[in-house]
Amino acid sequence: MMRHKMVEKIRQLHVLSSAMKSVADGKNPMDIPRHTKDPHYLLRGNPDFLEHDASGFRNTAIPHRADVVAVGDSQVYGACVRSDQAWPFQLQTMLEKTVYNAGMEGWGVVQYAMAAEDMVSMNPSLLVVSVYTGNDIYESFLAARQSSHPLARSFWKPDYDGLLLPELAGKHASDMAVRKGLETTPDQPEGEVLERLSARGVADCTRCEVEGARFYLTENFRHVVQDHDHPAIQAGFVIAEKALTHIQSLSLSYGFELQVVLIPTREYLVHSRIDDVRMENTDALIRLGEAEQKTLGRLKNYCAEKSITCLDLSEHLTHYIGSRIYPQDSRDGHPNAKGCRIIADYLNAKLRPALMRAEESGVYPLY
């Protein structure tokens, strides 16, 4: 263990030295890319990024053993908050246990299964798999299609080869409109740019107010990647379910508790409070809400059939959607520091009994 810590300290000094050299050269160390391309994971965290450990995850170091490992996408990584504000870090403080953040932007359930295989070496008592309904099914299809990892390939069927991807032209158009608006008026706050685009009727820049919260929704994009009638999304569900089954088999083989946590989109939470919402046109939001309700239902039903414990955060977070738990005057659908704290509070209460059970039954180290 001492050698493990010494190696990590040396690596951290190397990363810090590189960052200081960048500053001396007039460069911003935060300009170091957070991600690197990978043939297996498609996208991995860059170990040279200041906030990342040697595996490219958002931790100060790689522990010899983690009590809890949280696997997920940008919702776990903490895309719009500091590393110490991401919910795995806040959960660690509440539980007073080691919680390892194994979240990475752009991942889906296929990558979670691959990461779970890597994480068993940490001998966790509890593995938390966070499934984001916003795009994880779509990302699972992409990963199974593009990854060269044997596990990912095992989820793929020849019948899927001819399937077209969902059409994302609308997303690209709205992203371009926002980018052009920010470049044209760089001195104006993002909220003012989005306000103009919303007034022009630009899709996925939909102004929305709920109680004291105001943000801009991307409900059309969220529906495209959850369209249950699209063949690629249908295949994505099957792939995601196979990946969850594989993770469950790992939990049975290595003796750790498994908990699946469903994180809904901000748009779905707004839909759940639709009677309190102020926005021009709710048709697309209603369409998205119906699709996401089916997504949540299918995932919960599958977990129930396989006896996988599943926690759905949607009802709990719905109560807070008007309390500024997401960035204001923004299209960013990642929880802010307050939102991450609310998620950590909820999981602290729900996961503590499972962690106690796992510790009582014992976790058997690998030899």
Please write the tens of the pLDDT for every residue from 298-354.
999 999 999 999 999 999 999 999 999 999 999 999 999 999 999 999 999 999 988
Q: Say if residue 5's pLDDT is above 60.
A: no
Check residues 3 and 187 and name the one with the higher pLDDT. Answer: 187
Length of the chain: 367
Mean pLDDT, rounded, for 166-171: 97
Q: Say if residue 21's pLDDT is above 70.
A: no
Mean pLDDT, rounded, for 280-302: 97
- pLDDT tens-place string over residues 181-208: 999 999 999 999 999 999 999 999 999 9
Mean pLDDT, rounded, for 85-91: 98
Query: What distance in Å separates the CA atoms of residue 269 and residue 49, rounded to the nearest whole number?
Result: 33
Q: DSSP readout, 274-322? A: GGGEE-S--HHHHHHHHHHHHHHHHHHHHHHHTT-EEEE-HHHHHTTTT
Mean pLDDT, rounded, for 12-34: 56
Query: What distance in Å separates the CA atoms of residue 240 and residue 137, rounded to the nearest whole number?
Result: 6
Q: What is the mean pLDDT of the chain?
A: 92
Query: What distance in Å separates the CA atoms of residue 121 and residue 250, rounded to the nearest whole number?
Result: 12
Q: What are phi and psi of 19, to 5 degrees?
A: -65, -40
* CATH number of the structural domain 63-360: 3.40.50.1110
The pLDDT score that the predictor gives to residue 30 is: 62
Q: What are phi and psi of 127, to 5 degrees?
A: -110, 125
The pLDDT score that the predictor gives to residue 29 is: 63
Residue type, 279: M
For the chain, give every domain's residue range: 63-360
